[in-house]
A and B are shown apart, each in its own frame.
Chain A
Amino acid sequence: MAESESDAAFVEFERVQKSYDGETLVVKDLNLKMPRGEFLTMLGPSGSGKTTCLMMLAGFETATHGEIKLGGKPINNIPPHKRGIGMVFQNYALFPHMTIEENLSFPLEVRNIGKSDREAKIKRALDMVEMGTFGARRPAQLSGGQQQRVALARALVFEPELVLMDEPLGALDKQLREKMQFEITHLAHQLGITVVYVTHDQTEALTMSDRVAVFDDGRIQQIAPPDQLYEEPENSFVAQFIGENNTLEGVIKEIRENGLALVQLDDGELIDCTPVNVSQPGERTRVSIRPERVEYNKARLQKGVHTLKAEVLEFIYMGDIFRTRLRVAGNDEFIVKTRNAPDQERLQPGQQIEIGWLPQDCRALDA
């Protein structure tokens, strides 16, 4: 057991495809390996195939092609109720005609667990989500956040090794959502369970996950830990989708020996970039720079980097940061975020400035 686990992943998708209508593929050639205990988030716009993947894993959809393995064994032909996977649904799916205790008791009853055992497990699960005193209530008598906790407790009460969560926090307000994000992560790590989490909220994905799989168009565009995903997006979709991002369009002039690329922007200016998924001079490219990596304080600009002329269009004071909108190389939506430091200059609209960045923060991606 122990030896096979170190090699084989706990959850594995092998060349999985899914089509509903026989004409288009919703999931295209999906390959994914997850080790035991990982918190993996599937992130993507709606229609990207992430929920379908989750449903295939849960057993509510069958893969059109390919194999899904759990603990090394293919589960394609195992019905959902025999997979032993816990699941938290978008609208919680708490049974409205049962009390909270009955809701939690349900998965234990269908497993023929004795009454005293059941009671102990229910109490433990409810205490775990701090809902110990609500056992006799009905779901309708609870607030959204409380329902969310109960749904979590119910998915965990029968101690599954794998828990799936389908946008579980979508219906909560921002403050509650942030609190719950923390609690779920905390619980998952404390219990050592493996979690597959689906969301379209990138902040949620970044703050909660060990790894994030970005879905688009039925494929995983990139799968990586949050920091890598944010700082080193591998294509322009990921760069656009994760976090705020400035884009400039141009053509690769040359790839230099030091590995950097010289890009000529559409207005003729030249800049240095790190080539990511472009290799040939003459190829069109989209250059991506994070707003907080742009510098206009001349004292902080590194020597020898290309700078660009910019005109300040708007300056917003946001307390901890300043947010400045610039016109750069014909792009009116170029955003710069700067920390509110004592030496930070507060720009005025109409002001002409020069901006620059480190070549490794400027990534030349596919157009």
Chain B
Amino acid sequence: MSDTSGPILAADGTPLKKKLQQTLFRSRARAFGLVFPLLAFIIIAFILPIILLLSQSVWDSRYADLMPESTKAVAGWDSSTPPTEEMAAAMVTDLVQARENKTIGKVATRVNRELSGTRSLFTKTARSAAKLEAPYLGALIDRDEDWGKIETWAAIKVAAKKFNPSYLASAVDMKYNADGTFEREDEGRRIHVKLFWRTLEISFLVTVFTLLLGYPVAYLLSTLPVRTSNLLLILVLLPFWTSLLVRTTAWIAMLQGQGVLNDLFVVFGIATDEDRFSLIYNKTGTLIAMTHILLPFMILPLYSVMKTIPPSYVRAAKSMGARPSTAFWRVYFPQSVPGIGAGALLVFILAIGYYITPALVGGQDGQMISNIIDFHMRRSLNWNLAAALGLVLLVFVLFLFWLYDRIVGIDNMKLG
């Protein structure tokens, strides 16, 4: 008779849990309806494009779509034995077709990314492919001896893979081989890892500099009467009202060899006229300009946190016998940590993706990873590699977030 083990029932006999869900459904549906437009907008305009772009870093079906026969033929090849007649025949069929469809250029560009020089190999051979006769392998080699080389066919085999890790590998200076192994890129071509590290180094230094410069300013702002502090805050924000490009160019005028700063150094005898400081077109220039441009992003979170720290804390500490420095380090500073966390994370993440400023004032050793991404987006048109680099950067930033959460705690951060 005991029904204590069964579900509790509502007055009309339906289980209470179900009844509760039914009642809650309406309000949940309404709440969802309210956020749906924004959700849809974000998914369509932000998340989907990012996913689509990033998917290009591992997905490239260009070769497989345009050269179906040779794709099938190289799939079974072990990538270490010499090419076979069957592969050559499939290649000729595809080349004739691609020439007819005028898609040979796309195919050639794709293979050329795996092996330099294959672009012209494909376009030239395709021009006369229709005239080639069996045995095709001999005929191809007759056209160009590169067709007999294993490395050519290995490049084709890699290009024919739709799901293709070669771009990601390249983004971390690795090479994806036709037999599915990875190896390090030749020393003369290793660039990305180095740039990732430099990007980290510059971002870290910029974060430290903005903190060192911004902390006293934020402290001053937070202690001044509201009228004065608002006025000074406007000065802090003033750079936001000027275009980024103008500010960066202004730094060029300031820092260059014949610039204002160097002229002053010469006048005060810190430098000689022949031997002026190199303040721009190098890492120093990038650091100076980025520190200036990102400074407000450090000051604002710091200020908003410091404003909420009552002066009575430091007074209390002093009244208890703490020297001003002790009072600062043990009482004031720990309470400003949420602001430091927010400001540092903001500046660091902005810095890690910075690109116009290093491009303009960075010279050769002030370039960052985003400059290479830009290069592949706009110059080499290798969007797949750009996407792969972006993906690595994104994963890295997410890793930093995770690390930050583990060490400091995301909840211990005030953003406004």
A residues with CB within 8 A of B: 58-60, 79-87, 89-91, 93, 95-97, 106-107, 110-111, 154-155, 158, 164
Inter-subunit contact B319/A58 (CB<8 Å):
yes
Interface residues on B, range: 10 to 19
Q: Given A97-B334, A97-B335, are A81 and B323 also a contact pair (CB < 8 Å)?
A: yes
Inter-subunit contact A111/B310 (CB<8 Å):
no
In whole angstroms, what is the CA distance A360 to B44 when docked?
87
CB of B372 within 8 A of chain A? no
Instruction: Identify which of B45-53, B242-250, B324-332 touches chain A.
Output: B324-332
Smallest beta-carbon distance B184→chain A, Å: 47
Give every chain A residue within 8 A of B331 (Cβ-Cβ).
95, 106
Smallest beta-carbon distance A40→chain B, Å: 18
Smallest beta-carbon distance B210→chain A, Å: 24
Give every chain B residue within 8 A of A85 (Cβ-Cβ).
319
Partner of A87, one of B316, B322, B334, B335: B316
Give every chain A residue within 8 A of B316 (Cβ-Cβ).
87, 89, 93, 95
In whole angstroms, what is the CA distance A93 to B323 when docked?
17
Inter-subunit contact A107/B312 (CB<8 Å):
no
Inter-subunit contact B310/A93 (CB<8 Å):
yes
Q: Given A81-B327, A106-B330, A110-B326, are A93 and B320 also a contact pair (CB < 8 Å)?
A: no
Inter-subunit contact A89/B318 (CB<8 Å):
no
Q: Which secondary structure characterizes the binding site on chain B?
A: helix
Interface mask (B316-358 → A, CB under 8 Å = 1, otherwise 0): 1111111110110011001100000000000000000000000
Give every chain A residue within 8 A of B330 (Cβ-Cβ).
106
Smallest beta-carbon distance B151→chain A, Å: 63
CB of B315 within 8 A of chain A? yes
Smallest beta-carbon distance A92→chain B, Å: 9
Closest 3 interchain pairs by CB? A107-B320, A93-B316, A87-B319
Inter-subunit contact A80/B323 (CB<8 Å):
no
Inter-subunit contact A60/B317 (CB<8 Å):
no
Inter-subunit contact A86/B319 (CB<8 Å):
yes
Find the B residue at minimum CB distance from A86: B319
Inter-subunit contact B335/A93 (CB<8 Å):
no
A-B contact pairs, 29 of them (CB 8 A): A59-B318, A60-B318, A79-B318, A80-B318, A81-B318, A81-B321, A82-B321, A86-B320, A87-B315, A87-B316, A87-B320, A89-B312, A89-B316, A91-B312, A93-B310, A93-B312, A93-B313, A93-B316, A95-B316, A95-B317, A95-B335, A97-B335, A106-B320, A110-B320, A110-B322, A110-B323, A110-B326, A154-B320, A164-B319
Q: Given A84-B321, A95-B331, A106-B330, are A60 and B313 also a contact pair (CB < 8 Å)?
A: no
Give every chain B residue within 8 A of A82 (Cβ-Cβ).
321
Give every chain B residue within 8 A of A79 (Cβ-Cβ).
318, 324
Given contacts A81-B320, A110-B321, 18 further A-B contacts (CB under 8 A): A58-B315, A59-B318, A60-B318, A81-B321, A82-B321, A86-B319, A86-B320, A87-B315, A87-B319, A87-B320, A89-B315, A91-B310, A91-B312, A95-B317, A106-B320, A110-B322, A110-B326, A155-B320
Partner of A81, one of B310, B322, B334, B335: B322
Inter-subunit contact B321/A107 (CB<8 Å):
yes
Smallest beta-carbon distance A306→chain B, Å: 54
Give every chain B residue within 8 A of A110 (Cβ-Cβ).
320-323, 326
Give every chain B residue within 8 A of A91 (Cβ-Cβ).
310, 312
Give every chain B residue within 8 A of A155 (Cβ-Cβ).
319-320
In whole angstroms, what is the CA distance A110 to B323 when docked?
8
Find the A residue at minimum CB distance from B323: A81
Smallest beta-carbon distance A101→chain B, Å: 14
Find the A residue at minimum CB distance from B314: A93
Q: Interface centre among A86, A106, A154, by most B CB within 10 Å?
A: A106
Smallest beta-carbon distance A59→chain B, Å: 8
Give every chain B residue within 8 A of A90 (Cβ-Cβ).
312
In whole angstroms, what is the CA distance A79 to B322 when docked?
11
Smallest beta-carbon distance A38→chain B, Å: 20
Smallest beta-carbon distance A313→chain B, Å: 47
Give every chain A residue within 8 A of B335 (Cβ-Cβ).
95-97
In whole angstroms, what is the CA distance A154 to B322 when docked?
13
Partner of A158, one of B312, B313, B321, B326: B321
Give every chain B residue within 8 A of A106 (Cβ-Cβ).
317, 320, 322, 330-331
Q: Interface centre among A60, A90, A154, by most B CB within 10 Å?
A: A60
Smallest beta-carbon distance B223→chain A, Å: 13
Give every chain A residue within 8 A of B310 (Cβ-Cβ).
91, 93
Find the A residue at minimum CB distance from B335: A97
Give every chain B residue within 8 A of A58 (Cβ-Cβ).
315, 319
In whole angstroms, what is the CA distance A303 to B318 when docked?
63
In whole angstroms, what is the CA distance A36 to B330 when docked?
33
Find the A residue at minimum CB distance from B309: A96
Give every chain B residue within 8 A of A111 (Cβ-Cβ).
321
